[in-house]
Amino acid sequence: MRKEIFGIGSYVHVVNRGTRSLPIVRDDIDRFRFLLMLSHFNDHFAPLNWYRDLQDTDLHNSLSRPNTWPPQERLVNIIAFCLVENHFHLLLQELTEGGVPRFMQRLGTGMAKRFNERHGQKGSLFEGPYRARLVSDDRYFRYVTAYIQVKNAFDVHPRGYVWARDHFDEAYNWATRYSYSSLGDYIGIFGGSQASTEHRAIVEREFLSSLFSPDEYREYSRDMILGRLSSDDEIKTHISGFFK
């Protein structure tokens, strides 16, 4: 776990990648478990066996919260996320002192434990501690949300990133329905295979929605994907440094 402490209210871009760039999820069961963890680990309350509680209340295939648990007190706001085969990105806002590291410790440990148990593996799932960088201004904030929600979704498009880039509108519509990115939460037409409108409870949408309408966000994302935001080259370089 990283030792950096971010101030309450800070926005933080977080990424973690599989060891040797190997997969951290193998199928939709693993992917949906990631959504469950985003939803249920973001809480001061930590049940002894959270997944058993879900099974006992028949909520393990849902993002609903057991009514035996106390009301949720979030550690962070999850502004944006995207899960791909060998890494994930999150944009978090710290709500309580130490909220980011506490949430990330629970998420990383939970993912590694479940992956190893389910797939008969041993050792580290991730290449090391998660990486986190402060989002210092609105320009960075806007760019990193599109990078997380759109660029990373395009990376896993069935026809590949280059096709998605060259057929932006069709690929963007597909990305709004990709269950493991938060893009559809903002567009308002989310319709994934396992998650439903409950999925939106994971994400805090207010701030980003105050900056863009859905149509404005599509056009901003188009400009980002097509490299038209030349003034943001420094941000792009900064983000790419995560993987060096």
- Name 162's Cβ contacts closer than 8 Å, sequence gap at least 6: none
pLDDT given for residue 189 in this prediction: 53
Taking a C-beta distance cutoff of 8 angstroms, is the pair 199, 81 a contact?
no
Is residue 198 predicted with pLDDT exceeding 90?
Answer: no
* Mean local confidence (pLDDT), 68-76: 95
pLDDT given for residue 59 in this prediction: 86
Tens of pLDDT, residue by residue over 14-52, are 999 999 999 999 999 999 999 999 999 999 999 989 999
Go through the domains of the chain in sequence order and give each one's CATH number.
Answer: 11-134 (3.30.70.1290), 138-243 (no CATH)
Q: 200 falls in which pLDDT band (50, 70, 90)? A: low
Is residue 126 predicted with pLDDT exceeding 60?
Answer: yes
Tokens of 20: 């040797």
pLDDT given for residue 136 in this prediction: 85
Q: 233 falls in which pLDDT band (50, 70, 90)? A: confident
* Mean local confidence (pLDDT), 141-163: 97
Which range among 51-65, 118-132, 180-194 has the greatest average pLDDT? 118-132
Tens of pLDDT, residue by residue over 212-222, are 988 999 999 99
* Mean local confidence (pLDDT), 84-96: 97
Q: 191 falls in which pLDDT band (50, 70, 90)? A: very low
pLDDT given for residue 209 in this prediction: 87
